[in-house]
């Protein structure tokens, strides 16, 4: 199987189990699940799918010659993502953004994936336990294959990250004892600063925040009207959006009509904000090899430590309102 990836270029997949898993309907569904959730309706440049991200996370694990069961776990890690991705966390009020993760085992067991894994002689229970795979499942501020891919993929799509720098990161990030690290402190600092900047400019952008609230409110009303059920969360963006658009409820239509190109949001104080709520300010603090030891880059460049702390406090909660056109 050959795939032309936006950031990695031509990828040739030779593993039969990986190819078989990619070809399942459950995995193909991810082509119609947006990575960003809802902001792409206002900012069409956000054109990343969960499918390409999942392939990318697998590819990073492949590049670092991880065991095949870990590669499978990386490929399937987002399989249970709902339509509009993390928008559903706003609907069900999951402040840790873990609703989809909580459904992974259930969704996989309903598919033909268990049989494919069994036919390959692999252990499904081990694959479903992400704690077995530190490069996939680790805690901030560590670099993981998941964070690394969406950082580069989203940054490239929106126009912030050049291909040359992506290639540099791919060549200059090393792995030892299940952790990623840099040898060049300047490159580690660049990665950390860019990741935090993307957190503010992409994932915590006021338009992203506002679009999440608009879509979440529309879905909440549709649930109350019994137009949709929780099962509809596990269709895809197109199917769920079509159901919302078919609603006779004028409030739903008003909310959806505000999700169109150019209808940007700005930050506002809580007293003036239309939407105010919890955020997930993210930063990474990469490890750097320093005299034979792995040390956080913020310990070597202290100004970064204060930068991280300031960012985390400032964007823990934000308020937004939509600009009038």
Reduce the DSSP state of residue 47 to 3 states and report it. coil
Instruction: State in words which class domain 2-206+280-320 has.
Output: mainly alpha
> 317 - beta bridge partners?
278
Reduce the DSSP state of residue 195 to 3 states and report it. helix
Identify the CA nearest to 181 among candidates 173, 189, 171.
Answer: 173
The radius of gyration of the chain's CA atoms, rounded to the nearest angstrom, is 20
Identify the CA nearest to 51 among candidates 71, 78, 86.
Answer: 78
Is the CB of residue 27 less than 8 Å from the CB of residue 79?
yes
**Tens of each residue's pLDDT in the chain, 325 residues:** 999 999 999 999 999 999 999 999 999 999 999 999 999 999 999 999 999 999 999 999 999 999 999 999 999 999 999 999 999 999 998 667 788 989 999 999 999 999 999 999 999 999 999 999 999 988 999 999 999 999 999 999 999 999 999 999 999 999 999 999 999 999 999 999 999 999 999 999 999 999 999 999 999 999 999 999 999 999 999 999 999 999 999 999 999 999 999 999 999 999 999 999 888 899 999 999 999 999 999 999 999 999 999 999 999 999 999 998 6
Total-model pTM:
0.96
Which helix (H) or strand (E) segment holds residue 266: the answer is strand 265-268
Burial class (CB in 10 A: 0-12, 13-18, 19+), 262: exposed
* β pairing state of 179-182 and 173-176: antiparallel
Reduce the DSSP state of residue 110 to 3 states and report it. coil
> 278 - beta bridge partners?
317
């Amino acid at each position: 199987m050959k795939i032309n990836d936006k950031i990695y270029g031509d990828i040739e997949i030779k593993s039969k189990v990986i190819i078989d898993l990619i070809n399942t309907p459950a995995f193909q569904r991810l082509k119609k699940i947006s990575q960003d959730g809802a902001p792409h309706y206002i900012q069409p440049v956000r054109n990343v799918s969960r499918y390409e991200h999942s392939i990318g996370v697998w590819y990073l694990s492949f590049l670092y010659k991880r065991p095949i069961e870990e590669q499978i776990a990386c490929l399937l890690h987002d399989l249970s993502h709902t339509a509009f991705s993390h928008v559903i966390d706003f609907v069900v009020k999951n402040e840790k953004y873990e609703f989809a993760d909580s459904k992974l085992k259930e969704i996989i067991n309903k598919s033909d994936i268990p049989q494919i894994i069994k036919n390959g002689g692999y252990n499904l229970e081990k694959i479903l336990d992400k704690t077995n795979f530190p490069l996939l499942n680790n805690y901030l501020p560590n670099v993981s294959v998941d964070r690394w891919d969406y950082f580069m993929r989203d940054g490239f799509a929106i126009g912030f990250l050049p291909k040359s720098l992506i290639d540099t990161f791919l060549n200059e990030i090393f792995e030892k004892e299940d952790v990623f690290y840099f040898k060049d402190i300047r490159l580690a600092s660049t990665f950390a600063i860019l990741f935090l900047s993307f957190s503010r400019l992409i994932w915590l952008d006021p338009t992203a925040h506002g679009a999440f609230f608009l879509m979440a409110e529309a879905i909440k009303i549709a649930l109350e009207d019994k137009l949709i059920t929780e099962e509809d969360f596990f269709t895809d963006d197109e199917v769920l959006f079509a159901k919302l658009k078919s609603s006779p409820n004028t409030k739903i239509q008003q909310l959806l009509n505000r999700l169109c190109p150019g209808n940007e949001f700005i930050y506002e104080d809580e007293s003036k904000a239309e939407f105010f709520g919890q955020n997930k300010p993210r930063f990474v603090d990469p490890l750097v090899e320093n005299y034979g030891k792995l040390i956080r880059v913020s310990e070597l460049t202290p100004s970064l430590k204060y930068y991280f702390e300031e960012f985390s406090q400032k964007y823990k909660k934000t308020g937004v309102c939509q600009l009038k056109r």
